[in-house]
């Protein structure tokens, strides 16, 4: 009996101590308006057991607030959702919010990489990687973007005038092959038999899934998630032999080459990374390679696939894109070699890509951790350890900033004149500030070169209707039905 009393007393003592120690946190949290949606206890259960579609539904419901700032709880984690671009600007630029919450620094495989690593780790590694992602260095990879896009065009010849197919598989193979080639690892994924190509890609997708599940179920070891995933034995074997071990091959490969290129500007990504000055060991290099491959692959493949799907629906817009291509490259069926300078000439194509990323952002939200108190919405002090959420998908469709037709597809919003009237933080597919996407220039150039090659050669069509599309989220937001398009040879 005494033991029980001591136990109860101890528990009560610790609960009181916990709330007393965190009284400022709970006091400040109580001042923030509560979201119309609250996860509560059954909410936590739903959240932890949700499939990708359900996950997106829950996330969207939690964003659905009238007020500019709203809070919701997931267990003891305080989420503060910032809907106003002024607050989004503060979050992306304030050093108090550079950090990612610990539940986001998830996967054992990438938790040390720039994407999810500790703040100090991120700071020093971002500095190392930054120069490669500038325009001057990216010039050097333009031939890779062109060559790999041409492999795609060739590999699709067998699909002309056939049934609809999911272009996402081809785009994933293309972007993966491209980023690996940029890292001086030459592997032929696009021309592999569809089955083995899909296994290779599925491996990476499952690698991402494992990483994602670890975000919400950190107590599970990646191996357990992996073993319980829907992978077949063969796929698991292939995964351990390809997706994970390719990073080791990449590093061995680059370490074995003597680096005679002293010109910093013209160093390849991997040459820059292994540079003695940076002093990165093999383990750190492995994490950065994982990070960049993971960040580069799905995101641009989804955006390119979605752009093709939208153009298949809006034929007039597709024709305008092609007219611009003819203007820049001449009216020809031969896919052009796209120079660095040409990329900037494809103004309308860029407007279309931006409008697609506005309506269907690949990353629908980002989360940052508050390391020092910060004021949002002019009057709410956000406590240390709160997780601030920028609901990109919601801000992109907010009528206050985009007008009553915010839900409609209209690339004209991104003409120089129209876009200059939009709040700069109302459009943030790559986010902004010191921690914004490192590869945004790479991604825009890559997508423009891929799509220009594709559309010069093929006309796209689809039976899908945009309003009937269902989306799911698993780090990135994807179409559940697949990006089903039909292609025909373009008549010119």
Q: Which amino acids are annotated as binding site, given as ranges?
A: 437
CB of 402 to ligand HEM, least distance (A): 18
Q: Give the residue, chosen from 88, 115, 142, 174, that forms a contact with ligand HEM under the rule CB under 6 A.
A: 115
Residues 420-479 that bind ligand HEM (CB under 6 A): 429-431, 435-439, 442-443
Considering the complex, state which of residue 213 and residue 428 has its C-beta at the smaller distance from ligand HEM. 428
| Cα–Cα distance measured from residue 397 to residue 394, given in angstroms and rounded to the nearest whole number | 5
CB of 217 to ligand HEM, least distance (A): 21
Binding segment (CB under 6 A) for ligand HEM, from list 64-72, 155-163, 298-306, 460-468: 298-306
Considering the complex, state which of residue 28 and residue 343 has its C-beta at the smaller distance from ligand HEM. 343
Cβ pair 357, 305 in contact under 8 A: no
Number of CB atoms found within 10 A of residue 205's CB = 16
Binding segment (CB under 6 A) for ligand HEM, from list 19-27, 206-214, 287-295, 411-419: 287-295
Q: Give the residue, chosen from 57, 89, 126, 320, that forms a contact with ligand HEM under the rule CB under 6 A.
A: 126
Considering the complex, state which of residue 101 and residue 429 has its C-beta at the smaller distance from ligand HEM. 429
Binding segment (CB under 6 A) for ligand HEM, from list 56-64, 246-254, 291-299, 325-333: 291-299
Binding segment (CB under 6 A) for ligand HEM, from list 56-64, 190-198, 294-302, 332-340: 294-302
Per residue, the 3-state secondary structure of the chain, as one string, reads: CHHHHHHHHHHHHHHHHHHHHCHHHHHHHHHCCECCCCCHHHHHHHHHHCCHHHHHHHHHHHHCCCCCEEEEEECCEEEEEECCHHHHHHHHHCHHHCCCCCCCCCCCCCCCCCCCCCHHHHHHHHHHHHHHHCHHHHHCCHHHHHHHHHHHHHHCHHHECCCCEEHHHHHHHHHHHHHHHHCCCCCCCCCCCHHHHHHHHHHHHHHHHHHHHHHHCCCCCHHHHHHHCCCCHHHHHHHHHCCCCHHHHHHHHHHHCCCCCCCHHHCCHHHHHHCHHHCCCHHHHHHHHHHHHHHHHHHHHHHHHHHHHHHHHCHHHHHHHHHHHHHHHCCCCCCCCCCHHHHHHCHHHHHHHHHHHHHCCCCCCEEEECCCCEEECCCEEECCCCEEEECHHHHCCCHHHHCCCCCCCCHHHHCHHHHCCCCCCCCCCCCCCCCCCCCHHHHHHHHHHHHHHHHHHEEEECCCCHHHCCEEEECEEEECCCCEEEEEECCC
Residues with Cβ within 8 Å of 66's Cβ and at least 6 positions away in sequence, in order, are: 36
| Cα–Cα distance measured from residue 468 to residue 317, given in angstroms and rounded to the nearest whole number | 20
Considering the complex, state which of residue 105 and residue 202 has its C-beta at the smaller distance from ligand HEM. 105
CB of 105 to ligand HEM, least distance (A): 11
Residues with Cβ within 8 Å of 345's Cβ and at least 6 positions away in sequence, in order, are: 328
Q: Give the residue, chosen from 114, 137, 149, 247, that forms a contact with ligand HEM under the rule CB under 6 A.
A: 114
Considering the complex, state which of residue 199 and residue 426 has its C-beta at the smaller distance from ligand HEM. 426
CB of 101 to ligand HEM, least distance (A): 11
Considering the complex, state which of residue 69 and residue 110 has its C-beta at the smaller distance from ligand HEM. 110
Considering the complex, state which of residue 62 and residue 114 has its C-beta at the smaller distance from ligand HEM. 114
Considering the complex, state which of residue 110 and residue 487 has its C-beta at the smaller distance from ligand HEM. 110
Q: Give the residue, chosen from 268, 291, 305, 354, that forms a contact with ligand HEM under the rule CB under 6 A.
A: 291
Q: For ligand HEM, which residue has the nearest CB?
A: 439
Q: Give the residue, chosen from 303, 354, 453, 478, that forms a contact with ligand HEM under the rule CB under 6 A.
A: 303
Q: Does 295 bind ligand HEM (CB under 6 A)?
A: yes
Residues 337-396 that bind ligand HEM (CB under 6 A): 362-363, 366
Residues 229-258 that bind ligand HEM (CB under 6 A): none
From the list 115, 111, 104, the residue with the least C-alpha distance to 74 is 104
Q: Give the residue, chosen from 69, 201, 280, 292, that forms a contact with ligand HEM under the rule CB under 6 A.
A: 292
List binding-site positions for heme: 437
Considering the complex, state which of residue 114 and residue 172 has its C-beta at the smaller distance from ligand HEM. 114
Considering the complex, state which of residue 197 and residue 435 has its C-beta at the smaller distance from ligand HEM. 435
Q: Give the residue, chosen from 299, 369, 393, 478, that forms a contact with ligand HEM under the rule CB under 6 A.
A: 299
CB of 3 to ligand HEM, least distance (A): 49
CB of 297 to ligand HEM, least distance (A): 8
| Cα–Cα distance measured from residue 92 to residue 39, given in angstroms and rounded to the nearest whole number | 26
Cβ pair 288, 280 in contact under 8 A: yes
Total binding residues toward ligand HEM, as defined by CB under 6 A: 24
Considering the complex, state which of residue 149 and residue 329 has its C-beta at the smaller distance from ligand HEM. 149
**CA atoms lying within 13 Å on the CB side of residue 87:** 25
CB of 220 to ligand HEM, least distance (A): 24
CB of 366 to ligand HEM, least distance (A): 5
CB of 302 to ligand HEM, least distance (A): 7
Per CB under 6 A, residues contacting ligand HEM are 114-115, 122, 126, 291-292, 295-296, 299-300, 303, 362-363, 366, 429-431, 435-439, 442-443
């Amino acid at each position: 009996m005494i033991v029980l009393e001591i136990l109860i007393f101890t528990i009560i003592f610790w609960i009181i101590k916990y709330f007393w120690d965190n009284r400022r946190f709970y006091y400040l949290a109580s001042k923030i308006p509560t979201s119309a949606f609250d996860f509560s206890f059954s909410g936590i259960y739903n959240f932890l057991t949700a499939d990708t579609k359900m996950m997106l539904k829950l996330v969207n419901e939690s964003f659905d607030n009238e007020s500019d700032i709203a809070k919701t709880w997931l267990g003891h984690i305080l989420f503060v959702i910032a809907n106003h671009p002024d607050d989004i600007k503060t979050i992306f630029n304030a050093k108090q919010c550079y950090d990612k919450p610990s539940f986001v620094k998830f996967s054992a495989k990438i938790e040390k990489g720039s994407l999810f690593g500790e703040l100090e780790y991120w700071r020093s590694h971002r500095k190392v990687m930054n120069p490669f992602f500038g325009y001057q260095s990216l010039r050097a990879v333009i031939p890779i973007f062109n060559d790999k896009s041409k492999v795609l065009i060739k590999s699709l010849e067998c699909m002309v005038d056939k049934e609809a197919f999911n272009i996402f598989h081809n785009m994933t193979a293309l972007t993966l092959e491209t980023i690996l080639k940029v890292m001086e690892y030459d592997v032929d994924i696009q021309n592999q038999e569809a089955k083995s190509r899909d296994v290779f890609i599925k491996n990476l997708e499952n690698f991402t899934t494992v990483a994602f599940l670890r975000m919400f179920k950190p107590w599970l070891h990646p191996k357990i998630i992996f073993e319980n995933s829907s992978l077949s034995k063969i796929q698991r074997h292939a995964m351990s032999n390809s997706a994970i071990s390719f990073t080791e091959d990449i590093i061995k490969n680059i370490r074995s080459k003597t680096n005679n290129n002293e010109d910093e500007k013209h160093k390849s990504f991997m040459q820059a990374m292994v540079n003695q000055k940076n002093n990165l060991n093999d383990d750190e290099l492995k994490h950065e390679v994982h990070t960049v491959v993971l960040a580069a692959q799905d995101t641009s493949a989804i955006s390119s696939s979605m752009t093709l799907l939208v153009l298949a629906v809006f034929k007039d817009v597709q024709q305008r894109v092609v007219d611009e291509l003819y203007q820049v490259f001449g009216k020809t069926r031969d896919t052009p070699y796209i120079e660095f300078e040409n990329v900037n000439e494809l103004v309308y194509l860029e407007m279309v890509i931006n409008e697609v990323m506005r309506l269907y952002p690949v990353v629908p939200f980002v989360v940052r951790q508050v390391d020092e108190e910060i004021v949002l919405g002019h009057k709410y002090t956000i406590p240390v350890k709160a997780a601030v959420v920028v609901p990109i998908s919601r801000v992109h469709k907010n009528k206050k900033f985009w007008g009553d037709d915010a839900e409609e597809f209209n690339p004209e919003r991104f003409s120089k004149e129209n876009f200059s009237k939009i709040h700069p933080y109302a459009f943030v597919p790559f986010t902004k500030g010191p921690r914004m996407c490192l590869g945004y220039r790479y991604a825009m150039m890559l997508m423009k070169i891929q799509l220009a090659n594709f559309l010069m050669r093929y006309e796209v069509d689809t039976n899908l209707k945009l309003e009937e599309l269902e989306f799911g989220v698993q780090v990135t937001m994807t179409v559940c039905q697949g990006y089903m398009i039909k292609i025909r040879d373009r008549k010119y």
